[in-house]
Chains A and B, each alone.
Chain A
Amino acid sequence: MGRIFRHVLAIAGKDLRLELRSRTSLLSASVFAALVLIVFNFARDPTAVATLDLAPSVLWVTVAFASVVAMNRAFTVERENAAFDGLLLAPVAREVLYLGKYVANLVFVLLVEAIALPLFVLFFNVDIAGALPGLLLTLLLATAGFVAVGTVFSAMVVRTRFAELMLPVLLLPFMVPPLIYAVKTTVPLFAGRRLSEVVDGLRFLALYDVAFITLSVLLFSAVVDE
């Protein structure tokens, strides 16, 4: 178990180090998130729709698209110098490779969300202090699920000619269920409801995570083995 953990950490650490060195994806995903928030902020009419009604949808649309931008990088970094062959050659199970890539993607997308959330508060002037614990839990559970699927699809499309276009086409349908439940959970939280009142939504997100992380671990080998 310790060996698996060491390998997962080595692969995730390598991915995060690569990203911190180049900062290209972090920057592009963060700028994209800021842009979406700015557009929504100036496009809305506060007299027509209350900010509190609109805010959860805007937050999750921003998170969803910024995450896709962020996840596009997961396997493109492996293309240069055929570096992924080096990982595939190592005496490490494909499942462990997946978990390493998954952990890196999860940290990376959460980092993008950590940048997007204050911008969201700034642009929409929403008081999220009371909702913060529930909102953070919702963000974590929803992100854990769609990043699991995104990591597999990112590996699948990297060998195609239009990887950057293919990823959203494949991934967005799988993001719809967690996004619906994330929005349904966020609305009452922003309205000041207690965490105990959104347990059903959180339970669905947790179930989605268990199901899709398991499926992704099992499928990854078939995806990367030529």
Chain B
Amino acid sequence: MPSAEAPLVEARGLVRRYGAVRALNGVDLVLGAGEVLLVLGPNGAGKTTLLRTLAGLLRPQAGNVTVAGRPLSRDDPAARRPIGLLSHQSLLYDELSLLENLTLAARLYDLPDPPRRAALALEAQGLASRQHDRPRSLSRGMQQRAAIARALLHDPRLLLLDEPFTGLDAVAADRLRSLLETHRTPERAMVIVTHHAAEAWDLATRVGVLVGGRWVLEAPRPGDPVEFHLAYQELARG
């Protein structure tokens, strides 16, 4: 459901080098509200670098990123407010309880009544009974749910997910897919980085394939996943 309004995310000419390696080599991206972009690519293609750049965690050496009409820059911290990130790691402190972790995040996002907001976010992920537990005492699936609660706490319009299905069993992966489905609304957009298109195929409205820091494909999602998979194998091999 692409919006007729200004794009929610607009990235132009992103370049990011690590020494001689160009992790991003002139990447453009325009994503409207309501869109879900599935980003695929072989290891080292620049997927995580792209995601971290869109989150404002990495500064591109060239190019710029605009989210909800505001350029991401160190001088405008409020520009990061619409962004939620579900990373490889939980972003939670092991020595704090889940409730304390999320309350801290709620305070930093200036949400009203931070402890209550944090408790509600945990409850939404079925973690109300574990809110006083520490992250390291939870299973991988529960940790992932806690990380999701943290990422969604401030109701972000742009949700960035870095291999969100990794390490989850089938039940937890289905649960995550359902959650992302409910989060897919006309006001929001998602970028999902994954190695396996099938994991989030039904969620996606667009598909992008990064190879060597460049798009080799960025288009509306094709209808047939099997056909796409074969084409992807060719693209990924370069």
A residues bordering B, Cβ < 8 Å? 3, 6-7, 10-11, 14, 17-18, 21-22, 77, 80-83, 85-94, 221, 225-226
Is B45's beta carbon under 8 Å from chain A? no
Is B9's beta carbon under 8 Å from chain A? no
Q: Which of B90-118 contact A (CB under 8 A)?
A: 90-96, 100, 104-105, 107-110
CB distance from B29 to the nearest CB of A (A): 19
Chain B hits for A221, CB < 8 A: 74
Cα A87 to Cα B108 in complex, Å, equals 8
Cα A224 to Cα B87 in complex, Å, equals 18
Chain A hits for B135, CB < 8 A: 81
Cβ-neighbour of B108 out of A82, A90, A225 (below 8 A): A90
Q: Is the CB of B107 within 8 A of A88?
A: no
> Which chain B residue shows the least CB distance to A78?
B93
Asked if A80 meets B91 with Cβ closer than 8 Å, knowing A85-B57, A91-B109, A225-B59, the reply is no
Q: Is the CB of A90 within 8 A of B80?
A: yes
CB distance from A78 to the nearest CB of B (A): 8
Is B56's beta carbon under 8 Å from chain A? yes
Chain A hits for B192, CB < 8 A: none
Interface SS of chain A: helix, strand, loop or mixed? helix
Number of interface residues of B (CB under 8 A): 33
Q: Is the CB of A21 within 8 A of B95?
A: yes
Asked if A18 meets B85 with Cβ closer than 8 Å, knowing A91-B78, A92-B77, A92-B108, the reply is no
Chain A hits for B95, CB < 8 A: 17-18, 21-22, 77
Q: Is the CB of A14 within 8 A of B93?
A: yes
Q: Is the CB of B55 within 8 A of A10?
A: no
Cα A18 to Cα B85 in complex, Å, equals 23
Q: Is the CB of B100 within 8 A of A10?
A: no
Cα A9 to Cα B167 in complex, Å, equals 36
Asked if A81 meets B77 with Cβ closer than 8 Å, knowing A89-B57, A89-B85, A90-B105, the reply is no
Cα A17 to Cα B150 in complex, Å, equals 19
> Which chain B residue shows the least CB distance to A9?
B107
Given contacts A14-B100, A86-B150, A92-B108, 6 further A-B contacts (CB under 8 A): A14-B96, A81-B92, A89-B85, A90-B109, A221-B74, A226-B58
> Which chain A residue shows the least CB distance to B114?
A10
